[in-house]
Amino acid sequence: MWGRAGMIGIALYCLVPFYWMVVSSFRRTSDIYEISPLPSPWSLESYDAVFAEGMGFGRSLVNSLVVAGTTTAVTLVIGTLAAYALARLRFRGKNVILALVIAVSMFPGALLIVPLLKLFTSIGWINSYQAMIVPSMSFALPLTIWNLTTFFRQLPYDLEQAAMIDGCTPFAAFRRVMVPLAAPGIFTTAILAFIATWNEFIIAVTMVNDQDVQTATVRIAQFTGAAKFDTPFGTQMAAGVLVTIPLVLMVLFFQRRIVSGLTAGALK
Amino acid sequence: MSRPRGQSWLAAAMLSPTMIVLALVVFYPLVAAMRESFYTSGQTLDADGFVVEGERFAGLANYAGVAGERFLNAALNTTLFTVVTVGLEVVLGVAMALVMQRAFRGRAILRASILVPWAVPTAVAGLMWKWIFQADGVANALLGTEILWTADGPWAKLAVVVADVWKTAPFVGLLVLAGLQIIPSEVYEAARVDGASAGQRFRRITLPLVKPALLVAVLFRLMDALRVFDLPYVLVGPRKHSVETLSGLIWDEATRVHYGPASAYGTALFVYIAVIAFVFVKLLGADLLSDVRQRRKEARDVG
């Protein structure tokens, strides 16, 4: 009974603010300040406004997809190699490198952007995808390595040894035996890295000021209404829902994996 | 594992792409920022009144701002935000974990809903709470108040704290839950048989056993909170005195091409975070290490 109340409390705590964003996105601009629990009447006015010309929202979704997708793909390739070495090979200085990877993940992004902004300005990278992709690896790579190292450690040693006894080189054992075995872990890590990059803000808002290259999180925050000081809340809520929906779907489909990935990365 | 020499070569080859990337995106900026913090750029007049272009060594001039009102205010805001949010998130997170641990039916729904705040991008969460906290918004309507939450002022601090706690407490709850689930139920059974009350069981069994997991979660949260940028930026706005954080100040200076002061403040923030992490690990390191040792032992037993 008590536990049931607690569960309902947690669910309400997590969902009610989000619910309010969804409800507000379906109101008409004229009754955006209503506080009825359901919109009356329902309206797609805000969603029309999001995709109106000049808002650049559709474009920004594509930009987010390109930036988060590329960062995730590159990071996974590099990170899988590193994680395998850290988890399964014997060499000196392993703990130093592991400590370094953790330390790097705690670096303040604000410090890193200062010299990078200067550098990218001088080499003409401002307003380019790579100006967001490359710095994003500073947080995506440690996350990937940390998660995959934990995952590779849990795999049994026998298979890899059997492969090497059968004449595989250690690298072939990694590529043909371990990577396929680690596929679920790599997939989980990909989701986490993708979400982290999709949600990234400080790099994107610093390196890009051209609306055509901006990612969705930055674009929404810079929506302006008809008048300069008139914040278009309905439009922002609709855009917020659209940006969050892919993530919420991922969460619904892969919740078990995500939870295990999050806790493994942080606890082990 | 009879070829350790061959393995070192392979390890070096497999780690080198990571090292190159980290060198480019982390170590180069770190060193460049530290160097930059001692230089000024742009036009200046030299002693004879001639215009000098380019970079000049400036000593500690860029660090003068560290004693200035704006930096100290940002440092105070950041510290206050960190202490309050991490404190609240730990308390709420532990409470949520205890509830979830008992949940059997509806666990999947609970887990999915608890991931929603985590999945909402921080910038979107900022906008969402900005909307909730509007002057004519639902928060004031429900509370029967007329507070200007999102205008520069003390209430803005509270609005940022609420938004961050909403987004992150469930995440802490998940981490603590994972820690709770490795406690064998026999321990509780034995305590119950011995007549321990629920409160005693929580203080004497749950807390000590979940402490290592909790400490790691707190360390990660501390590091995250100390570099917070996007939430106050979106919820209240950039350059707002009451909620400007150190990251916000650095960003503002950098985008105005004041690279010298921006680098000096960035270096100061880096040192601040490093000191907090060091003190945290030093004070509670025994627990963190015992956890590592325990896991290593488990790994050996398994492997």
Q: Lowest-pLDDT range, B5-9, B19-23, B127-131?
A: B5-9
Is residue B159 assigned to a domain? yes
For residues A137-159, average pLDDT: 90
Inform me whether the pLDDT recorded for B161 exceeds 70.
yes
Confidence class for position B179, pLDDT limits 50, 70, 90? confident
Determine, for residues B121 and A247 on separate chains, whether the beta-carbon distance falls below 8 Å.
yes
pLDDT band at B47 (very low <50, low <70, confident <90, very high): low
User: Average pLDDT in the B32-59 region?
Assistant: 76
Number of Cα atoms under 13 Å in the Cβ half of residue A4: 2
Q: Residue A87, SS3?
A: helix
B266 touches chain A (CB under 8 A): yes
The residue ranking higher by pLDDT, A197 or B108, is A197
B24 vs B288, which has greater pLDDT? B24
Residue B105, amino acid: R
Q: What does the pLDDT average to over A57-80?
A: 96
What's the pLDDT score for residue B101?
84
SS3 B42: coil
Contact (CB<8Å) A17/B213: no
Query: Measured between CA atoms, how close is A59 to chain B, in angstroms?
Result: 17
Inter-chain residue contact A85 with B128, CB threshold 8 Å: no
- Does residue B118 surpass a pLDDT of 50? yes
Residues within 8 A of A (CB atoms), B 176-235 only: 177-179, 213, 216-217, 220, 223, 226-227, 229-230, 233-234
Mean pLDDT of A22-42: 88
**pTM metric for this prediction:** 0.89
- Per-residue confidence at A20, pLDDT binned at 50, 70, 90? very high
Question: What residues of B are in contact with residue A141 (Cβ under 8 Å)?
Answer: 18, 21-22
Give B-chain residues touching A135 at CB under 8 angstroms: 25
- The strand pairing partners of B51, in sequence order, are B45
- Looking only at the bridges linking them, the beta strands covering B56-57 and B39-40 are antiparallel
Find the closest chain B residue to A196 by CA distance.
B121
Asked if pLDDT for residue A227 goes beyond 70, the answer is: no
Between residues A260 and B251, the one the model is more confident about:
B251
| Cα(B178)–Cα(A168) distance, integer angstroms | 38
Q: How many helices (H) and strands (E) does chain B have?
A: 13, 4
Mean pLDDT for A92-97 is: 88
- Dump pLDDT digits (tens) for B208-224: 888 888 888 898 899 99
Helix/strand/coil (H/E/C) assignment for every residue in B91-128: HHHHHHHHHHHHCCCCHHHHHHHHHHHHHCCHHHHHHH
B172 to chain A, closest Cα gap in Å: 10
Number of domains in chain B: 1
Q: Hey, how many other C-beta atoms are within 10 angstroms of the C-beta on A228?
A: 7
- Looking at residues B6-21, what average pLDDT do you find? 90
B124 in contact with chain A, both atoms CB, cutoff 8 A? yes
Q: Which residue from A181, A72, A84, A162 is spatially nearest to B13, judged by alpha carbons?
A: A84
Kindly provide the b/e burial profile for residues A67-81, where b requires at least 16 CB atoms within 10 angstroms of the residue's own CB.
bbebbbebbbebbbb
Mean pLDDT of A105-112: 88
ipTM: 0.91
Q: Is the pLDDT of residue B155 over 90?
A: yes
B39 strand-pairing partners: B57
Q: What residues contact residue B9 under an 8 Å CB cut-off, 6+ apart?
A: none
Q: What is the pLDDT of residue B2?
A: 46
Nearest residue of B to residue A5, measured between CA atoms: B99
Q: What is the dihedral of CA A248, A249, A252, A254, to 10 degrees?
A: -110
pLDDT for the residue numbered A127? 95
Predicted local confidence at residue A103, as pLDDT = 86
Torsional sign, CA A69, A74, A79, A80 = positive
**Gap from B266 CA to chain A (nearest CA, Å):** 5
Assigned domain for B2 exists = no
Lowest-pLDDT choice from A68-72, A179-183, B45-49, B250-254: B45-49
Chain A touched by B246 (CB under 8 Å) = yes
Predicted confidence band of residue B60 (pLDDT cuts 50, 70, 90): confident
Asked if residue A53 lies in contact with residue A121, where contact means CB atoms within 8 angstroms, the answer is no
Other beta carbons less than 10 A from residue B167's beta carbon: 26
Q: Measure the N-to-C terminal CA separation of chain B; round to a whole number of Å.
A: 13
Number of C-beta neighbours around residue B1 at 10 A: 11
Name the residue among A86, A101, A239, A244 with its Cα closest to residue A174.
A86
Task: Say yes or no for a CB contact (<8 Å) between B99 and A170.
Answer: no
A-proximal residues of B, 140-159, CB under 8 Å = 141-142
* pLDDT average, residue stretch B181-188: 84
Size of interface A-B (CB pairs under 8 A): 282
Mean pLDDT of chain A: 89
CATH value at residue B215 = 1.10.3720.10
Q: Domain residue spans in chain A?
A: 1-43, 54-267
Residue A268: which pLDDT band, with cuts at 50, 70 and 90?
very low
Q: Do A107 and B126 touch (CB under 8 A)?
A: no
Residues of A with Cβ-Cβ distance to B3 under 8 angstroms: 170
* End-to-end Cα spacing for chain A: 34
3-state SS class at A194: helix
In terms of pLDDT, which residue wins out, A24 or A223?
A: A24
Domain that holds residue B187: 28-302
Across chain A, where does the E strand assignment appear? none
Q: Which of A13, A81, A111 would best serve as a mutation to test chain B binding (most B beta carbons within 10 A)?
A: A111
Residue B7 lies in a domain: no
Q: How far is A50 from chain B (nearest CA, A)?
A: 14
DSSP B51: E
Residues of A in contact with B106 (CB under 8 A): 7
Q: Which of A79, A110, A221 sits opposite B234 (nearest CB)?
A: A221
Residue, of B1 and B206, whose pLDDT is higher:
B206
Check: CB of residue B33 under 8 Å from CB of residue B263. yes
Mean pLDDT of B289-299: 55
Residue B109 lies in a domain: yes
Any domain includes B120: yes
Which distant-in-sequence residues (6+ apart) come within 8 Å of A185 by Cβ?
A147, A148, A151, A152, A261
* pLDDT reading at A266 higher than 70: no
Are A201 and B229 within 8 A, CB to CB? yes
- Closest-CA distance, B254 to chain A, in angstroms, reads 6
Q: Please state whether A107 falls in left (phi above 0), alpha (psi between -120 and 50) or beta.
A: beta
Is pLDDT larger for residue B57 or for residue B133?
A: B133
Contact A112 B96 (CB under 8 A): no
CATH of A54-267 among 1.10.3720.10, 1.20.1600.10, 1.10.645.10, 3.30.420.40: 1.10.3720.10
- A135 contacts A207 by C-beta, under 8 angstroms: yes
Most confident of A102-106, A115-119, B148-152, B176-180: A115-119
Q: How far apart are CA B186 and CA B191, in angstroms?
A: 8
Residue among B106, B166, B229 minimizing CB distance to A17: B166
Interface probe with A: pick from B3, B25, B77, most Cβ of A within 10 Å: B25
Q: Are A193 and A75 in contact (CB under 8 A)?
A: yes
- Shortest distance between the Cα of A108 and any Cα of chain B, in A, equals 6
- Closest residue in B to A132 (Cα–Cα): B25
Dist CA A217 CA A60 (whole Å) = 8
pLDDT recorded at residue B303: 40
What average pLDDT does the structure give for chain B? 86
Condensed to tens digits (0 to 9), the pLDDT of residues B77-101 reads: 999 999 999 999 999 999 999 988 8
- What is the 8-class DSSP label of residue A174? I
CB contact under 8 A, B266 and A3: no
- For residue B46, CA distances in Å to A14, B52, B60 come to 60, 6, 18
